[in-house]
């Protein structure tokens, strides 16, 4: 009999890629209240979609029953939104994670994997970011992701529940929403480039990020979910830094766009440099299968299909 997995937030960008990955080899349940996700992301995916919130005890109980592995991705995902609504962020991200862990324990699940974030490192200028660095969360979003990691550790130590936290760096790929108020750089730049519209960059564009193709985020999630040994916190990135300006130029070149780059005033609180140390994840036996250039080509092709 194939294993049963639950993906919270499975109708979102990353969650829907994970659901697709598991659909042919496992019984997949998705619990998602469509706060920022879209049911259309799961079109053609063999899964049981339960529209509902992780904060709804009955919905969570129904979704988690029989699940061996739980991939907990449901969250308030935006830093600016978390600053505007800190209490709602804490309820959804921290309390929501506690409820998922409690329900997992009650249901006898084997493993919970949390989608955590590089935001936890804050604006400490040291690069690369190593998991053992002192966390310096600078937003309610980062604070709640750190609290989630601590909760996973607590349930592992106190109750023997299998847990792994993965700190994602800057994830990109098809189905990432360029229209959301809090959209990320890659989907915005591609959407603008395909229309030959100007691409806006805050500041000089010299700020660097570790962009990771969603294929490798999915692979890391599945690897952690299936592992008996991975119980700590792991960065997931390529360990390669790319400036925002170079990213915009690469997208313009790959799309053959006539877009011009325009510079806006720097954004307050923007982190200058962020790149992952990937040593811990690599020594756990995981290897990336994709790359930024493969990911960009795939994402541009997907955006072109949507536009056609």
Q: Tell me which of 71, 121, 141, 155 is the catalytic residue.
A: 141
Question: Closest approach of Cβ 158 to ligand NAD, in Å?
Answer: 23
Give the shortest CB-185-to-ligand NAD separation in angstroms. Answer: 10
- Nearer to ligand NAD by Cβ, of 238 and 257: the residue is 238
Spatial separation of the C-alpha atoms in residues 107 and 93, rounded to whole Å: 21
141 has catalytic annotation: yes
Alpha helices (H) in the chain, listed in sequence order: 13-23, 57-64, 79-84, 86-89, 96-107, 140-159, 185-194, 214-226, 244-255, 279-283, 292-307
Return the H-helix or E-strand segment holding 71. Answer: strand 69-72
3-state secondary structure of 142: helix
**What sign does the CA torsion over 65, 27, 29, 182 have?**
positive
CB of 55 to ligand NAD, least distance (A): 5
| Residue 33 vs 257, nearer CB to ligand NAD | 33
For the bound state, the minimum distance from the C-beta of residue 182 to ligand NAD, rounded and expressed in Å, comes to 9
How many residues in total does the chain contain?
A: 308
Candidates 172, 57, 152, 61; CA nearest to 112 is 152
Q: Which residues bind ligand NAD (CB under 6 A)?
A: 8-9, 11-15, 31-37, 53-55, 73-75, 77, 92, 96, 115, 117, 168, 170-171, 184
Rounded Cα distance, 213 and 215, in Å: 5
The sheet carrying 48-51 orders its strands as 48-51, 26-32, 3-8, 69-72, 111-117, 162-168, 233-236
Q: Which is nearer to ligand NAD, 180 or 249 (CB)?
A: 180
Pick between residue 172 and residue 286 the one whose CB is nearest to ligand NAD. 172
Closest distance to ligand NAD from the beta carbon of 261 (Å): 22
Q: Which is nearer to ligand NAD, 32 or 68 (CB)?
A: 32
Q: Give Cβ neighbours of residue 233 (< 8 Å, ≥ 6 apart).
A: 116, 131, 149, 164, 165, 166, 167
Query: Among all residues, which ones are annotated catalytic?
Result: 141
């Amino acid at each position: 009999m194939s294993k049963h997995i639950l993906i919270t937030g499975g109708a979102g960008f990353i969650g829907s890629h994970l659901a697709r990955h598991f659909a042919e080899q496992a019984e997949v349940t998705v619990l998602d209240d469509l706060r920022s996700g879209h049911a259309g992301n799961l079109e053609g995916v063999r899964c049981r979609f339960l529209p509902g919130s992780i904060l709804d005890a009955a919905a969570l109980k129904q979704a988690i029953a029989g699940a061996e592995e739980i991939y907990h991705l449901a969250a308030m995902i935006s830093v600016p939104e978390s600053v505007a609504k800190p209490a709602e962020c804490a309820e959804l991200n921290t309390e929501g994670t506690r409820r998922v862990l409690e329900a997992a324990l009650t249901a006898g699940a084997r493993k919970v994997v949390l989608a955590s974030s590089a935001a936890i490192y804050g604006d400490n200028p040291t690069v690369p970011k190593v998991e053992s660095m002192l966390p310096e969360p600078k937003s309610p979003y980062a604070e709640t992701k750190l609290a989630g990691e601590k909760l996973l550790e607590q349930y592992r130590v106190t109750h023997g529940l299998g847990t792994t936290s993965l700190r994602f760096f800057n994830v990109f790929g098809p189905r990432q929403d360029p229209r959301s108020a809090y959209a990320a750089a890659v989907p915005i730049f591609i959407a603008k480039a395909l229309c030959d519209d100007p691409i806006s960059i805050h500041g000089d564009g010299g700020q660097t990020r570790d962009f990771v193709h969603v294929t490798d985020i999915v692979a890391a999630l599945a690897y952690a979910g299936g592992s008996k040994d991975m119980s700590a916190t792991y960065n997931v990135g390529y360990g390669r830094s790319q400036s925002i300006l170079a990213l915009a130029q690469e997208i313009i070149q790959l799309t053959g766009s006539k877009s011009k780059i325009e510079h806006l005033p720097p954004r307050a609180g923007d982190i200058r440099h962020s790149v992952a140390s990937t040593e811990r994840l690599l020594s756990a036996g995981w290897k990336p299968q994709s790359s930024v250039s493969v990911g960009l080509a795939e994402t541009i092709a997907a955006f072109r299909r949507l536009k056609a």
